[in-house]
Amino acid sequence: MGTLRFSVAETEAGSRLDAIAQALKGADTLVLATDPDREGEAISWHVLEVLRSRGALNGVSDRVLFPGAASADRLLRDHGIH
């Protein structure tokens, strides 16, 4: 089985990922709230992989799927994010 390799070009996406990586330096939680469809899943997976490759994630990272916005809102409130 092969390894999937990808890179982020010097584009707007690259600068946004740089901003996320910078913001993570003072954070203990990252919530990627993408759509629960294939495209949303792919986006969050790629963001996590880029952040891992840059060493921007501190500790364990878990992926959680939410059935709807109400569950995501509850998770954010539980973590003190309003």
Residue 61 has, within 13 A of its CA and on its CB side, a CA count of 18
* pLDDT score of 60: 63
* pLDDT score of 16: 87
pTM value? 0.60
Task: Note the residue count of the chain.
Answer: 82
How far is residue 71's CA from residue 60's CA, in Å, rounded to a whole number? Answer: 22
Residues sharing a CB contact under 8 Å with residue 61, sequence separation 6 or more, in sequence order: 30, 48, 52
Low-confidence ranges of the chain (pLDDT < 70): 1-11, 59-72, 82
